[in-house]
């Protein structure tokens, strides 16, 4: 789908006239092409024009003109999204925030940081660390995804188990509505409850309600000691049962990551010390301020897993061993894709007690269609990256059948179809499984209030 040439040309002419000082605007096909792809494997949808904005004032004027001309606008961060959120499926304008990439303030006294949306997530925690502070949200893509994208998707990561997700840290936003109005919402204080919580509404809005041009996040004191254990199991079912029992035993690790036998096969030979008989591994991490205390709690966790038939655990002896474990963990997603060439990565969440059943039923659904389902991810949160592996587009009907069953099972078990990646384009057909029509209709009405011309990231979330 694309905007008719006449309408697009009128918009571009107005845009050029509005910025006599110049604007990073292009319609050159080679430059547009990469802005039509992300990490969702959903296909290529290049925009008809691209602006790489450099200021809030630019974003505001561009959105006002796009609304006037009824031009679809798709906000773009680093295009690492897995639900197709940044794909301009109706053509029009891709509005990239990649050049708004400065850290504006690090305030240790008030425990906060103010950043532009194009700052990479890892840079935020690195800046916090210099002051002994901590920005916990840690998507595995942190090195190359942006804070704007994290806000839009309410990104999480392994540490969400103990510390929560992006929404738990964003306390204020400068936000440009689709009409071009610039709002400042939220606070700079530890607490604040005045009015409706618009920050909570905008975080997770998947680029459909406007654009974050400035983000204020809270920071917390950084734990001084972190210890990591690699706990192998013979089967993924044993590992999944052990995970539930860890959390009910009174321990509060900061990560409980799970890798099943297919994930282990994908990363074989990359330096993870796992015995050959292992069919699953758990990466458990404890933190605190006293080394002996942290080690003792990690030992309690390992003992707890032993009562669920874990094999011999390995505790990382130094920072370089810890880093190696996490480096390999970050390679799981591309390594799985390399096994068959193509995959669809889901990010469902089920109640913790249902993790073993969910994993088993997803694998069975794949088997029925002759496809492999690999599961890894933040199992301590019940958040599973179950990946359907496939080879060619001809496999697609079978992939669809497996995905549909996985989503139905998830909802049946009391879960949600997305815990991290968002609904975007990938999951909008499954949203009715989880949310009844009156609830979806209420949210659509809310969108129209904020985006009267319905031009902001159209075709996402809602059918
Ligand atoms: C290997 C790998 C590992 C990953 N691991 C995780 C993980 O552990 N946890 C997790 O949550 N995700 C993970 N992701 C998914 C992805 O990195 C996140 O969704 C991330 O938040 C996307 O950021 P981005 O800058 O790439 O945004 P994009 O992909 O460019 O955009 C994502 C959405 O944000 C919107 N958007 C972008 N900038 C703005 C803005 N300034 N204002 C409003 N809307 C905006 C876009 O329109 C789109 O809807 C992973 C991805 C990969 C490839």
How far is ligand 1, taken at its centre, from the CA of residue 64, in Å? 25
pLDDT of residue 154: 98
Residue 158 alpha carbon, nearest atom of ligand 1: 8
How far is ligand 1, taken at its centre, from the CA of residue 377, in Å? 17
Q: What is the pLDDT of residues 21-64, one digit of tens each?
A: 999 999 999 999 999 999 998 899 999 999 999 999 999 999 99
Q: List the residue whose alpha carbon is closest to atom 36 of ligand 1.
A: 149
Q: List the residue whose alpha carbon is closest to atom 44 of ligand 1.
A: 207
How far is ligand 1, taken at its centre, from the CA of residue 313, in Å? 33
Q: List the residue whose alpha carbon is closest to atom 23 of ligand 1.
A: 149
Q: In percent, how much of the chain has pLDDT > 70? A: 100
Residue 39 alpha carbon, nearest atom of ligand 1: 53
| β pairing state of 280-288 and 342-345 | unpaired
d(CA 343, CA 459): 23
Residue 165 alpha carbon, nearest atom of ligand 1: 11
Q: Which of 80, 85, 87 is the pocket-test mutation for ligand 1 (most atoms within 8 Å of CB)?
A: 80
d(CA 327, CA 426): 27
* Cβ < 6 A, ligand 1 pocket: 38-39, 74-82, 85-86, 97, 117, 139-141, 145-146, 148-150, 152-153, 155-157, 206-207, 211-212, 333, 420-421, 457
Nearest to 32 by CA among 64, 74, 71, 70: 74
d(CA 338, CA 327): 17
The CATH number of 225-330 is: 3.30.70.2190
d(CA 450, CA 175): 12
Domain with CATH 3.30.465.10 in the chain: 103-221
Residue 81 alpha carbon, nearest atom of ligand 1: 29
Pair 143, 126: CB distance under 8 Å? no
- Angle (nearest 5°) at CA 133 between 127 and 136: 85
Nearest to 408 by CA among 377, 386, 430: 430
Is CATH 3.40.50.720 what the domain over 339-421 is classified as, yes or no?
no
How far is ligand 1, taken at its centre, from the CA of residue 444, in Å? 22
Pair 374, 263: CB distance under 8 Å? yes
Q: List the residue whose alpha carbon is closest to atom 7 of ligand 1.
A: 139
pLDDT of residue 141: 93
- Per-residue DSSP letter, 310: B
Q: List the residue whose alpha carbon is closest to atom 21 of ligand 1.
A: 150
pLDDT of residue 244: 85
* CA–CA distances in Å: residue 217 to residues 104, 128, 135, 177, 205: 12, 11, 8, 20, 17
CATH T-level assignment (fold) for domain 103-221: 3.30.465
How far is ligand 1, taken at its centre, from the CA of residue 273, in Å? 31
d(CA 50, CA 77): 13
Q: What is the pLDDT of residues 401-447, one digit of tens each?
A: 999 999 999 999 999 999 999 999 999 999 999 999 999 999 999 99
Quick one: which H or E segment has residue 211? strand 211-218
Pair 82, 47: CB distance under 8 Å? no
pLDDT of residue 1: 80
How far is ligand 1, taken at its centre, from the CA of residue 429, in Å? 20
Quick one: which H or E segment has residue 264? helix 261-266
Q: What is the dihedral of CA 94, 169, 447, 429, to 10 degrees?
A: 80
Nearest to 267 by CA among 319, 312, 324: 324
Q: Which regions in the chain score pLDDT beneath 50?
A: none
Q: Compute how many other C-beta atoms are within 10 angstroms of the C-beta atom of residue 204.
A: 18
Nearest to 137 by CA among 150, 153, 152, 119: 150
Q: Cβ neighbours of residue 292 under 8 Å, at least 6 residues apart?
A: none
Nearest to 100 by CA among 126, 121, 76, 119: 119
Residue 420 alpha carbon, nearest atom of ligand 1: 11
Q: List the residue whose alpha carbon is closest to atom 49 of ligand 1.
A: 85
Please give the sequence-ordered ranges of beta strands (E in DSSP) within 319-433, or none if there are none. Answer: 342-345, 348-349, 372-378, 383-390
Domain with CATH 3.30.70.2190 in the chain: 225-330
* CA–CA distances in Å: residue 449 to residues 24, 95, 209, 422, 446: 30, 22, 10, 22, 5
């Amino acid at each position: 789908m694309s905007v008719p040439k006449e309408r697009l040309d009128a918009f571009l002419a107005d845009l050029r006239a509005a910025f006599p000082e110049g604007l990073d605007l292009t319609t050159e096909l080679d430059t547009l092409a990469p802005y039509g792809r992300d990490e969702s494997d959903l296909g290529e949808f290049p925009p008809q024009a691209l602006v790489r904005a450099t200021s809030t004032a630019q974003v505001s004027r561009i959105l006002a003109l796009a609304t006037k001309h009824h031009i679809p606008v798709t906000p773009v961060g680093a295009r690492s999204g897995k639900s197709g959120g940044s794909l301009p499926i109706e053509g029009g304008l891709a509005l990239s925030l990649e050049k708004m990439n400065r850290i504006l303030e690090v305030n240790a006294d008030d425990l906060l940081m103010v950043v532009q949306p194009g700052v990479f997530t890892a840079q935020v925690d690195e800046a916090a660390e210099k002051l002994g502070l901590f920005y916990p949200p840690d998507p595995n893509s942190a090195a190359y995804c942006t804070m704007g994208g994290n806000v839009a998707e309410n990104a999480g990561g392994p540490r969400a188990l103990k510390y929560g997700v992006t929404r738990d840290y964003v306390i204020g936003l400068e936000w440009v509505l689709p009409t071009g109005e610039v709002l400042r919402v939220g606070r700079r204080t530890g607490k604040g409850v005045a009015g409706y919580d618009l920050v909570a509404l905008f975080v997770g809005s998947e680029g459909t309600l406007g654009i974050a041009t400035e983000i204020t996040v809270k920071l917390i004191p950084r734990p001084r000691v972190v210890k990591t254990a690699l706990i192998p199991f013979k089967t993924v079912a044993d590992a999944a049962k052990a995970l539930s029992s860890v959390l009910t035993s009174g321990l509060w690790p900061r990560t409980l990551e799970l890798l099943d036998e297919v994930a282990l096969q994908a990363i074989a030979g990359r330096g993870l010390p796992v015995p050959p008989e292992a069919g699953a591994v758990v990466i458990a991490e404890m933190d605190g301020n006293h080394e002996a205390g942290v080690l003792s709690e990690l030992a309690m966790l390992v003992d707890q897993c032993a009562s669920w038939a874990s094999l011999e655990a390995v505790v990382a002896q130094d920072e370089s061993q810890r880093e190696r474990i996490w480096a390999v963990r970050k390679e799981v997603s591309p390594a799985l894709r390399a096994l068959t060439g193509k995959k669809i990565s889901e990010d469902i969440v089920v109640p913790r007690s249902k993790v073993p059943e969910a994993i088993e039923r997803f694998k069975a659904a794949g088997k029925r269609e002759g496809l492999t389902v690999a599961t890894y991810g933040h199992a301590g949160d019940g958040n599973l990256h179950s990946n359907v592996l496939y080879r060619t587009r001809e496999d697609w009907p079978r992939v669809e059948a497996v995905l549909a069953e996985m989503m139905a099972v998830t909802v049946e078990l009391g879960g949600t179809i997305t815990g991290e990646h968002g609904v975007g384009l990938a999951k909008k057909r499954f949203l009715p499984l989880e949310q009844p029509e009156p609830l979806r209709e209420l949210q659509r009405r809310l969108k129209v209030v904020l985006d009267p011309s319905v031009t902001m990231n159209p075709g996402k979330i809602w059918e």
